[in-house]
Amino acid sequence: MRLFHIVAPVAWASAIERGEYAPSSLETEGFVHFSFADQVEIVANARYRDEPDLQVIELDSADISHEIRVEDSYGSGTDFPHVYGAIDPRAPVAIHPLTRDEAGNWRFILRA
């Protein structure tokens, strides 16, 4: 199963330097938020509209040593994958850019 996480490039670069990616949600909610490929644009536009630069890290769930739960954490009726532990910055199988269309909406095109 492929999982996708939206992150600012500067935050990911910092994680590489530290050797661990542990966003604030890990402390406040106990997990790292992920999406499935078809959810990335929806999340980016709902939660990160004002961010100037974003990228998407892609991980293979088989390479994650922490528990993964697919669950509806906010009662929205939509299940999202959550990883219950910090992410090794060497784990991504790919890093994808997020781009904006003419209207300013984030667009995610998954390229093989």
Residue 61 scores a pLDDT above 90: yes
Q: Which pLDDT score, from 0 to 100, does residue 74 have?
A: 79
At 10 the three-state DSSP class reads helix
Q: What is the mean pLDDT of residues 12-36?
A: 95
* Total residue length of the chain: 112
Whole-model pTM: value is 0.93
Residue 112 scores a pLDDT above 90: no
Over residues 39-55, the pLDDT tens digits come to 999 999 999 999 999 99
Give CA 47 to chain center in angstroms. 12
CATH for the 2-107 domain, from 1.20.1370.20, 3.20.170.20, 3.90.45.10, 3.30.470.30: 3.20.170.20
Q: Which pLDDT score, from 0 to 100, does residue 36 have?
A: 97
